[in-house]
Amino acid sequence: EEMRRLLLKAIENNEFYISYQEKRDCIVGRVIGLEALARWDSPELGSVSPADFVPVIEKSNLSISFGNMIVRRVLDEYEVLSKNYKELVTVSINISPIHLSSDEFSGFIIRETLNRGIKPEQVVLEITEDSLIEDFEGVSETLYTLRKVGYKISLDDFGTGYSSLSYLARLGFDELKIDKSFIQRLGLDDRTGNLIRAIINLKDTYGISIVAEGVETENQSKTLLDLGCSVHQGFLFSRPTPLSRH
């Protein structure tokens, strides 16, 4: 269809840019990471949200070329960033299920990272549960390889799938991001608080760090701190913005 044709052209003509959102440790009081979020400025359609174009990419066989392009762009920008920042922050990249499960993925990202002199330890790969459903064996092997090299693996949108806990037990993760839908219900009912507390308890069981995303109010931030979650991401602290403004 039309959007597919425009996306193909957009990948060729570089119509994308990257916005970065800060991830803040509220106890230490500093930014510890940046999440890269793709943005598309289409000459024909104007600015299109990834919530709208990423699904079309996935359905159009463009996941790998798009994903590779994003990885290269983010690592190029990170190479510059890490020279300017005195305190090094990590960079998080959203990896689509199709991209992650392609045979070339681990070789590709390792090469692109090391070629730029970037340490894999500084790179966080955000994946969703969907990645694990199709080809669990293949993806878990890829994740094992990547973690051994030093990459941090983050399970994004945690709580929105239906079998997250079994994946946590079977795979090694470094980070878990509580989906913003839970954060938005915080304080509105008791259940949500209890659920978030249970998620935060996984920190010790699995030795992972817990990130709350979609934190918009001081109240949410304070409640999360009381519950034992100190790493927050959301509009309260940072709107996604291009690197030149970080």
In this structure, what token pair is assigned to residue 220?
A: 């949410």
Site residues (vs Mn ion, CB under 5 A)? 94, 126, 156
131 binding ligand G? (CB under 6 A): no
| Strand positions, DSSP E, 86-182 | 90-94, 123-127, 152-158, 175-178
157 binding Na ion? (CB under 5 A): yes
Contacting ligand G (CB under 6 A), which of 156, 208, 227, 231? Answer: 156
How is residue 186 annotated by DSSP?
A: B
> What's the CA gap between 197 and 194, in Å, rounded?
5
- Tokens 């992972």 belong to 208
Taking the complex as a whole, the smallest distance from the CB of residue 180 to ligand G amounts, in Å, to: 5
Nearer to Mn ion, 105 or 158 (CB): 158
> What's the CA gap between 211 and 225, in Å, rounded?
11
Candidate segments 41-49, 62-70, 87-95, 148-156, binder of Na ion by CB under 5 A = 148-156
17 binding ligand G? (CB under 6 A): no
**Residue 40: its H or E element:** strand 30-42
Least Cα distance to 177 among 29, 40, 33, 31 occurs for 33
129 binding Na ion? (CB under 5 A): no
- Evaluate whether 195 touches 178 at the Cβ level (below 8 Å): no
157 binding ligand G? (CB under 6 A): yes
129 binding ligand G? (CB under 6 A): no
Contacting ligand G (CB under 6 A), which of 94, 101, 154, 164? Answer: 94
Kindly list the residues in this chain that would bind ligand G in the complex (CB under 6 A).
21, 37-38, 49-51, 54, 70, 94, 96, 156-157, 180, 213-216, 234-235, 240
